[in-house]
Amino acid sequence: MAKVVAGNWKMNHGPAVTEGFFERFRPDANAGSVRLVFFPPDLSLAAGIGSARVPADFGVQNIHWEAAGALTGEISAEMAKEAGAALALIGHSERRHVFGETDAEVDRKVGAAGRAGLVPVVCVGELIEERKAGRLEEVLRRQVGAFRASLGAVEEFMVAYEPVWAIGTGETATPDDASEAHAIVRDALGSLGRAPVLYGGSVNPANAAALMSAPDVDGVLVGGASLDPEVFARIAEAGAAVGPG
């Protein structure tokens, strides 16, 4: 399976900047052997889809579990699909820790993504206190356990392991840390454990190849380093150089 190189732009890049990004985003031709995914803000989704010059899939950063209704400010999985999204990030660390999203809500969103035919990219990861207290495995099993049953109705999905202490801090998990956590996620997924498991948290062009070469790491979910087209192209090239597997 080709490595997945995904960029989560968070609340950055409006439509005009998005078009400018794709004018300058020119990874080497061999980077065609990675699966590129972009998660722009919803308002930039159409600009991204319309201006990407390389094969890439697009997704949204969050969905609500209802299909429609009086829910000001929310978007549904069905709307995202209609607007051209193929994937949806669900339960990102910032959704969980800044906006108070719960395991139960994450589970409902996974179900909604499946119903609409979106590929859920479900995020899990421990806080630094949990890691220091030796609770990594317990936390990951709890988080995966909360949505595992809903994956039964989903055709395709991914999990992103993003240790909260490594997000936006410049502190990266070592390849061994990532492998250890990914193996726990796979085990917790049981019979569904062959799905891609991505690593996220301060990925950059210097550490991307080592992380993607680590056992059980199927790709990367990149925040800050995905915002610059030249920098993100180098991460895509690193994934292509590592090759499938």
Question: Which of 52, 49, 70 has its CA nearest to residue 60?
Answer: 49
DSSP letter for each residue of 45-57:
HHHHHHH--S--E
By the rule CB under 6 A, 4 interacts with ligand 13P: no
DSSP state of 139: H
Site size toward ligand 13P, by CB under 6 A: 14
CB of 72 vs ligand 13P, minimal distance in Å: 25
Residue 32 or 223 having the CB closest to ligand 13P: 223
Residue 183 structure tokens: 């193996």
Q: Would residue 92 show up in a list of annotated catalytic residues for this protein?
A: yes
What sign for the dihedral angle of Cα 40, 212, 163, 152?
Answer: positive
Find the binder of ligand 13P among 162, 177, 218, 237 (CB under 6 A). 162
Contact track, ligand 13P, 8-47, x by CB under 6 A: x---------------------------------------
Stretch that binds ligand 13P, among 48-56, 63-71, 148-156, 161-169 (CB under 6 A): 161-169
Residue 34 structure tokens: 């990675």
The CA-atom distances, in angstroms, between 39 and each of 30, 138, 143, 187, 216 are 22, 29, 22, 27, 23
Catalytic residue, from 101, 105, 162, 237: name it. Answer: 162
Stretch that binds ligand 13P, among 127-135, 138-146, 160-168, 229-237 (CB under 6 A): 160-168
Question: Which of 36, 29, 30 has its CA nearest to residue 3?
Answer: 36
> Dmax of the chain from CA atoms?
48
Residue 70 or 98 having the CB closest to ligand 13P: 98
The residues in 186-225 that bind ligand 13P, with binding defined as CB under 6 A, are 200-203, 221-225
Query: Which residues are catalytically annotated?
Result: 92, 162
